[in-house]
Amino acid sequence: MANFAYYNITTSAATTISAIDQPKPTSITVCNTDASGDDCKVDLFIDNSDSSSTIYILHDVVIPSGCTLILEQPEIDFDTTVYALKFKIFTVASSQQADVKITY
């Protein structure tokens, strides 16, 4: 049976959405839920425990208003004993937000 984690990201700070030693994600869904209709620019990356090794899965990717991006294996395959999965939205307006669902 699949497990899920849900995040509503409204900050431009990097948010850890899958910590080190959590199960390996099988899919990630990112939905631009900006109320004003703005596009969202996002990063999705893996980072080791001391942030000395950052590897981008998505970098400066624009998700149009009202659209959803779905990532599956092998795009999100990484060593969960070494890396945490992080998400960052580049806020251009106070209404900028994205919903993220992770399936394990």
* Stated pTM of the model: 0.90
Confidence of residue 60 (pLDDT cuts 50, 70, 90): very high
9-35: pLDDT as tens digits: 988 899 999 999 999 999 999 999 988
Residue 44 scores a pLDDT above 90:
yes
Confidence of residue 92 (pLDDT cuts 50, 70, 90): low
* pLDDT for the residue numbered 103: 97
Cα separation, 90 vs 44, in Å, equals: 12
Tell me the mean pLDDT in the region 47-67. Answer: 94
Amino acid at 98: A
* pLDDT for the residue numbered 35: 82
Cα separation, 101 vs 104, in Å, equals: 10
- Whether residue 10 contacts residue 96, with contact meaning beta carbons closer than 8 Å, is answered with yes
